Structure 1
Amino acid sequence: MNLFRLDASILPTTSTSAEIADTVEAEWAAAHPGATVTRRHLGTDPLPADAWALAATGGFAPEQDRTEAQREALGLATELAGELERADAVVLAVPLYNYGVSQHFKTWADLVIAAAGPTASLLKDTPTVLVTTLGGGYGPGTPREGWDHSTPYMERILRDAWQADLTVIKRELTLAGTNPAMAALRDLADEQHLRALTAARTAGRALAG
C-alpha cells in the first residue's frame, strides 16, 4: 500500500491544514503499519516557477529540438504524475491564500497535466482526501460568500479531471484565534476545528479501506 501526501502550507510549523491531514494519515497508517508514505511538501520545497512553461513548450517540440531545460522540466512533470499513478490513497493539505488556490498547488497541477495530458484519469476511483483551510468565513450569508476561488478549482481538478473518489474537509475561521477583529467568532471557529478533526478521523478510516 502506498499513500501519497501533498502539503502546500508556507507555515509548516503552525499549519492548520497539516494538523487535519496528520489526523487522516494517522488513521490510514494505523490500518497499514509499515506501508509506504510518499510525501511532497510544496510549501517548503516549491517547484521551480518556470518548470510548467518549459514542460508545456517542451511537450509540443520534437524530442530532438527540446532544450536541456525542457527535458528536465518534462522529467519533473513525469515524476509528479507518477507519484499519483502509484498511489493507493491520497491526502492533500492545501490552504486558501488571497482568496485563490496556492500558487504552489497550481504549479504542481499544471506540471502533472503537462506530463499526463488534460484528460488523463490519474486518480480514477482512488480514495482521496482534500483538506483545505481558510482564515476567514466564506459560507452562505457571510460578507465574503463566493470569494473562495480555491476549493472549486481543486475539486474540479481532483474529482472531475482526475476522477478521484474525493472527500473534502474544509475548515474556515482559522485566524479567529489570533486576529482581534475576529474575536467574536472564536467559539464558532473552535466548533469548526473540532468538526474538521472528527471528519478527518472518519475520512482516514475510510481511506484505509
Structure 2
Amino acid sequence: MKNILVVNSSLSSENGNSNKLTSKLVTRLTSEHNGLNVVERNLNEMNIPHLTMEEMVAWRTDKTARTSAQAAQASLSDTLIAELQQADAVIIGMPMYNFGVPSTFKAWIDRVARAGITFKYTETGPQGLLSNKKVYLLAARGGKYAGTPKDSQSQYLKDVLGFIGLSDIEFVYVEGLAMGDDAAQSAWSFAEKELDRLSA
C-alpha cells in the first residue's frame, strides 16, 4: 500500500468527529508505514455543486471535441476519478445527517460513478471497474444506529461503492457521541482500539 485517498465530508471540517477519525487513522498509518502518499479531499470545503445534465453531456463528449466550457466541466470528475484509480486504499469519514450521507458526499459519488470508466453494464448487470482497493469507512454518529433499521447509511454505502468496484469495505462505527459524556468517552475509547487494529 503506497497511495491513500482520504475523503471527508463533515460540515465542521477538521472539528468534525468523522474528520478526527480519519486524521487519527492517517497519523497511525503514516507512522507505521514509511513512504505513504496521502491525498486528502475535504468535500465540505470544495463545495461541489449538484450534478447537471450539461456536465454529464461534457463527460460523454469525446475529449478532442469538447468545447473549452465542456473541458472545464469534465475536469472535476476526471480529477476525482483519477485520485480513486491511483489509490491503493480509501479512507472515508462519514457523519450521519438526518439518517443519510452528506449531500457533498453524494455530489462526489455523482462525479466518480461514470459508465465506461468506473463501472460498465454487462449482460448480467453492472460491473464495477475499480478493484483491489481497501476501503475504511469511519462512521461517526451522535446516536446509536448500527445494526438497526434506522441505519440507512450502511447499505447505501455498500451498494454505491460496490457498484464501482469498491467492495472490500471495513466499517468502524463510533456512535453515541451526542448521548452524554460517558457515552462519548466510551465511543472514543472504542475508536482508538479499532484504529490501532486497522493500522497494525
Given the two structures, how large is their TM-score scaled by the length of structure 2?
0.82
For 2:84 and 2:197, the matched residues in 1 are separated by 23
Alpha-carbon offset, residue 67 of structure 1: 5.3
Q: Quote the residue 1:20 is aligned against.
A: 21
Q: 1:198 aligns with which of 186, 193, 196?
A: 193
Q: Quote the residue 2:80 is aligned against.
A: 80
CA contact (8 A) 1:123 1:164 kept: no
Q: Quote the residue 1:163 is aligned against.
A: 166
For 1:126 and 1:174, the matched residues in 2 are separated by 29
Secondary structure at the aligned position of 1:167 is classed as: strand
The structure-2 alpha-carbon separation of the partners of 1:152 and 1:56, relative to structure 1 and needing over 3 Å to count, comes to same
CA contact (8 A) 2:89 2:134 kept: yes
Q: Quote the residue 2:140 is aligned against.
A: 133
For 2:32 and 2:146, the matched residues in 1 are separated by 34
Identity among equivalent pairs (%): 24
Q: Quote the residue 2:123 is aligned against.
A: none
Alignment of 1:21-60 (within 5 A): 21-50=22-51, 53-60=53-60
* Superposed CA offset, 1:169-202 (max 9, x none): 111222224xxxxxxxx43443232212211221
Equivalences, count: 192
For 1:108 and 1:16, the matched residues in 2 are separated by 20
CA contact (8 A) 2:77 2:112 kept: yes
Q: Which amino acid aligns with 1:78?
A: D
Q: Which amino acid aligns with 1:31?
A: E
Which sections of structure 1, spanning at least 5 residues, go unmatched?
Answer: 178-185
For 1:4 and 1:64, the matched residues in 2 are separated by 29
The structure-2 alpha-carbon separation of the partners of 1:63 and 1:13, relative to structure 1 and needing over 3 Å to count, comes to closer
Alpha-carbon offset, residue 66 of structure 1: 5.2
Which sections of structure 2, spanning at least 5 residues, go unmatched?
Answer: 121-126
Alpha-carbon offset, residue 161 of structure 1: 3.4
Higher share in strand:
2
For 1:63 and 1:36, the matched residues in 2 are separated by 29
Q: Quote the residue 2:124 is aligned against.
A: none
For 1:156 and 1:189, the matched residues in 2 are separated by 29
For 1:107 and 1:199, the matched residues in 2 are separated by 29
Secondary structure at the aligned position of 2:137 is classed as: strand
Alpha-carbon offset, residue 100 of structure 1: 0.7
Given the two structures, how large is their TM-score scaled by the length of structure 1?
0.79
